[in-house]
Structure 1
Amino acid sequence: MAMAGEYDQITAFHYAAFRPSLHLPILKECLKTDTERSLGLDVGCGTGQSSMALTHFCKKVIGIEPGKEMLEKSIADPEITYSHYNGQNFEFPDNFFDLITFAGSLYYGKSQQLLDEVVRVGKHNSQIIIYDFELALDVILEMLNLKPLVVQELDYDHLVNFDGLNQEHVNVEKEKVGDMSIEIAIPDISHVLLSYKDNYNQLLQSLGENGLYDAVSQKLRSIIKSESTFIEAKTYATVYRITK
């Protein structure tokens, strides 16, 4: 059985191997594409999928991430600079960024200190976008006799934003909850499933350690009878404007 650190590396690998291409569509619904922005900050960038999406709106992007396992597998791009984040203060000057995003990361670090740092490094009139998405994987999980994710991640809040904090210098511009349907190939579904530790543990117990990824893909093919399937996704976004 793998240790906790090994799980972090394993799940980071599957997280990096495939994430649904929902970051860009969500950002397009939140932002005007004809507005030119120089510098964007992606807080909790993971392996860089959200930073890649942000390059469509900013000339340069800085992605910061507390998980070193994620950073080690970050996607190289000439427009993106990655940096380790210590979870405390941002190592950037005041009034530095034109756009700041949190893609599924605010829940893990929400605090007044974090909001104050975001306001400090953001320019006056710059925007903050907090967004997330949730794949409707219950049908797939049932096929594999796994517990639904709603049980696995009961405490997680996809709607998290700056509510409950002092928002003196930020104003809500938009709040949006929507639905999207995306086609995902069987190998990519396997990566998504194995990027969750609880799924990994359950699948390990039922299918064994040797060739787990291939075993999951093979089992899904035998059930779905196709190389891909459509999965519904719910999207969440809150857009703020910084005022100083």
Structure 2
Amino acid sequence: MTSNNFKDHFSSGSAGYASYRPTYPIELVDALAHISPGLGRALDCGCGTGQLSVLLAERFDEVLATDASAAQVEKAQPRDGVSYRAALAEDSGLPDASVDLITVAQAAHWLDLEKFYAEVRRVARPQAAVALITYGVLHVEGAVDRAVQHFYYDTLGAYWPPERRHVEDGYRSLPFPFKEIALPPLAIEVQWRMDDLIGYFNTWSAVKAAEKSLGSNPVEAVAETLRKEWGDPASQRRVTWPLSIRAGHVQK
């Protein structure tokens, strides 16, 4: 299912997205399960290739994961208890009052929030939990982080879609008409080789926009810099992303 308002920045790179997007910590799912009124069904909207969906299945009996991009859904990670569906977040197709938790991870800035929140209220069970989740700009341990930050802010700055500002401010500028709950501070942390980082860069919408505008992939230049500073390319470095979570309960 698609919409004229759906901005598809990711279908063309769905395979890379599945391979290189970071995985959320299980502590995030534990925190969401803790504030949910039950563990029967979770709805993960804008699921991409299922990074959060499969983790939700560790705590919830059933997970419905939806994404407007059929290409993303096609590449999604299979997991018992998770059903994938190509559908808009604003139109899940679920029955009224049937969901304990509604999540949107790294996708709320693409949604028609007024329509999405109406859908949240429709499908939510009494006191269901809702969470908008986003991770900020990555940091890589060591001196190579300077090159990473320069690439993100300076090389690609003009190519990020305007909605990206909501990610950078942790979704604080988005409306959130629910009774808000503070969750403990969390972060994504991985150990990556240089090629993992380069693969991740190539999933960025700004890289695709820059390549279209410039006629060449800007990742190639930053990869040369990284090769000089990384050392053994097979060695791993710690990469972290701060998590920002706006969570609350749906008042019926």
Q: TM-score range by the shorter chain?
A: 0.7 to 0.9
Query: If the length of structure 2 is used for normalisation, what is the TM-score?
Result: 0.75
* Cα separation, 2, equivalents of 1:117 and 1:9: 24
* Cα separation, 1, equivalents of 2:146 and 2:208: 12
With over 3 angstroms needed to count, the CA separation of the structure-2 counterparts of 1:238 and 1:116, relative to structure 1, is same
* Cα separation, 2, equivalents of 1:213 and 1:122: 42
DSSP 3-state at the match of 1:62: strand
In structure 2, the residue matched to 1:229 is 237
Query: If the length of structure 1 is used for normalisation, what is the TM-score?
Result: 0.78
In structure 1, the residue matched to 2:87 is 85
- The alignment-based identity, stated in percent, is 16
List aligned pairs for 1:28-47, cutoff 5 A. 28-32=30-34, 37-47=39-49
What is the CA distance between 1:223 and its match in structure 2? 3.2
Confirm or deny that 1:241 pairs with 2:249: yes
Select the residue among 145, 160, 166 that pairs with 2:171.
160
* Cα separation, 2, equivalents of 1:223 and 1:97: 48
* Cα separation, 2, equivalents of 1:144 and 1:161: 22
* Cα separation, 2, equivalents of 1:119 and 1:42: 15
With over 3 angstroms needed to count, the CA separation of the structure-2 counterparts of 1:145 and 1:86, relative to structure 1, is closer
With over 3 angstroms needed to count, the CA separation of the structure-2 counterparts of 1:73 and 1:217, relative to structure 1, is farther
* Cα separation, 2, equivalents of 1:68 and 1:195: 17
With over 3 angstroms needed to count, the CA separation of the structure-2 counterparts of 1:242 and 1:133, relative to structure 1, is same
Is the CA contact (8 Å cut-off) linking 1:37 and 1:58 kept in structure 2?
yes
* Cα separation, 1, equivalents of 2:151 and 2:173: 33
Q: RMSD of aligned C-alpha atoms? A: 3.7
Partner deviation per Cα, 1:96-142 (whole Å, 9 max, x = no partner)? 01111110111111422210111110100111111111242585582
What is the CA distance between 1:29 and its match in structure 2? 4.1
* Cα separation, 1, equivalents of 2:42 and 2:114: 21
Aligned length: 234
In structure 1, the residue matched to 2:128 is 126
Select the residue among 173, 185, 194 that pairs with 2:181.
173
Structure showing the higher strand proportion among its residues: 1
5+ residue gaps in structure 1?
Answer: 1-6
Confirm or deny that 1:24 pairs with 2:30: no
5+ residue gaps in structure 2?
Answer: 1-8
Is the CA contact (8 Å cut-off) linking 1:130 and 1:161 kept in structure 2?
no
Partner deviation per Cα, 1:146-167 (whole Å, 9 max, x = no partner)? 45355543542122269546x3
* Cα separation, 1, equivalents of 2:118 and 2:149: 44
Select the residue among 195, 210, 231 that pairs with 1:187.
195
* Cα separation, 1, equivalents of 2:135 and 2:82: 23
* Cα separation, 2, equivalents of 1:58 and 1:29: 13
With over 3 angstroms needed to count, the CA separation of the structure-2 counterparts of 1:195 and 1:141, relative to structure 1, is farther
Is the CA contact (8 Å cut-off) linking 2:147 and 2:222 kept in structure 1?
no
Is the CA contact (8 Å cut-off) linking 1:176 and 1:236 kept in structure 2?
no
Partner deviation per Cα, 1:190-238 (whole Å, 9 max, x = no partner)? 22111014325667999978xx999987874553013221223111001
* Cα separation, 1, equivalents of 2:247 and 2:10: 31
* Cα separation, 2, equivalents of 1:106 and 1:189: 24
In structure 1, the residue matched to 2:5 is none
